Chains A and B, each alone.
Chain A
């Protein structure tokens, strides 16, 4: 891949415990990474993930707190079952599940978000441009596809 892969980062607003990490995510992300900040990973709906995939993103990274550390007690756990099953389902209809990663960050994981993103970016770059389920396109002029 010539350009860097497009990545969407869904970030729980509580999951980065160190100020520099959060600053890096807020201000210094490379332009190929699109940040979506959320109150909690429990807020993520499968529709959000699907929307990113359909829009042509090459990889999706979700970063959230460890289950015991969830700011809302159990928000990320309630999301976990859904996301787990959803990705498994996307895999069933042909999507490359390697394109989505769920990172649980902890208090001592200082700087880990950078590492995980760099690692993920490399992995996604190897997979190449996402084609499956990346469907958003102009309708042909005047609907001439019939």
Chain B
């Protein structure tokens, strides 16, 4: 895995040196090995801090919308990030010709909360290969199979490879199994109505409305979010049941046909709410009904942006 980091470094160096891009969005080391941070490289001497491993848990496409369209951006993309970039391009949030996508086939993001749950947070060293994660905790080396530590949404990943990268670092990986991907949602669908609602209540009542899910999501780029809208106020402003349920229903629903299943919302949530269980359901539906997956290319409009007479009508009388 560390050879990827070397390749990435020389690639970024090249992009900056040859003035192909103005800024490269990647990750950098922080004091704690568990928390690498999104970083913006503008010249090559900052690159000593460059980091790339499976702990890099943010979706970097999120930062694209902060830049003017004419900024030439190099960006590290894994499978889901590439799809997010595509989805943003479909929605005209940046221009493809001003982007340079450095693709990395992804072995899955390691969930820092799972590590801490197993070892505590006194982790001083971290290393990984394709199958195993090794951490140094209070002077002791502990090794886990990668599968045990992967984030839930990465366990369900179907497309680990970037679909539209300008350069691909590392060999493409086999596609994931869609039937596994659907298990999470299937499990909930199998419950009866009251159980489903109880589950939904249990998830949403922990929400503190910090909107980390919104801010971490590349597709949530609205200048004014519907919850911030004061006149009329459609969603109760407080942490009452109604306010929180409405937030989660509509947030997920606004992602219909746009969500790329990256799981960034869930990883950002400080209260461990299983946000992807909502968006995954919508993704499944969209796949089934409209044969569409967000971000697989940069032309196809999401289903809600188009319509035709033969659309499925499940509720019309």
Contact = CB atoms under 8 A, between A and B. Distances in A.
Interface in A84-130: 84-90, 92-97, 100-104, 116
A38 to B, nearest CB: 15
A95 B285 CA distance: 17
Contacts, number: 112
Contacts of B281: 89, 92
Contacts of B249: 46, 50, 89-90, 93
Contact of B316 (A48, A86, A102): A102
A137 interface: yes
Given A54-B242, A54-B245, A80 B282 contact: no
Contact of B311 (A77, A97, A137): A77
A135 B240 contact: yes
Contacts of B282: 85, 89
Contact of A84 (B193, B200, B242, B314): B314
Contacts of B241: 135, 137
Given A135-B240, A135-B245, A81 B303 contact: yes
A103 B316 contact: yes
SS of B interface (majority): helix
Nearest to B307: A77
Contacts of B39: none
A50 to B, nearest CB: 6
Contact of B256 (A85, A87, A94, A102): A85
A133 interface: yes
B253 interface: yes
A67 B311 CA distance: 11
B309 A77 contact: yes
A21 interface: no
A41 to B, nearest CB: 11
Interface in B293-315: 303-304, 307-309, 311-315
Nearest to A55: B242
B234 interface: yes
A103 B193 contact: no
Contacts of B272: none
A119 B240 CA distance: 34
A53 B289 CA distance: 26
Contacts of A92: 188-189, 196, 281
A96 B253 contact: no
A83 B315 contact: yes
A101 to B, nearest CB: 6
Interface residues of A, number: 40
B224 interface: no
Given A87-B315, A93-B249, A104-B316, A47 B234 contact: yes
A85 B252 CA distance: 12
B171 interface: no
Contacts of A133: 197, 245
A51 interface: yes
B252 A77 contact: no
B314 A88 contact: yes
B317 interface: yes
B211 interface: no
A92 B311 CA distance: 20
B236 interface: yes
Contacts of B45: none
B285 A93 contact: no
A83 B313 CA distance: 9
A100 B316 CA distance: 10
Nearest to A93: B200
**10 nearest A-B residue pairs (beta carbon):** A94-B197, A135-B242, A94-B196, A93-B200, A135-B241, A77-B307, A47-B234, A102-B316, A102-B315, A54-B242
14 contacts: A47-B235, A54-B246, A80-B316, A87-B314, A89-B252, A89-B256, A89-B285, A92-B196, A96-B193, A97-B315, A102-B317, A103-B317, A116-B317, A137-B241
Interface of A: 46-48, 50-51, 54, 67-68, 74, 77-78, 80-90, 92-97, 100-104, 116, 132-133, 135-137, 139
Given A47-B226, A77-B311, A102-B317, 16 more contacts: A46-B249, A47-B246, A77-B308, A80-B307, A83-B315, A85-B256, A85-B304, A89-B252, A89-B285, A92-B196, A94-B193, A94-B195, A96-B193, A132-B197, A136-B242, A139-B238
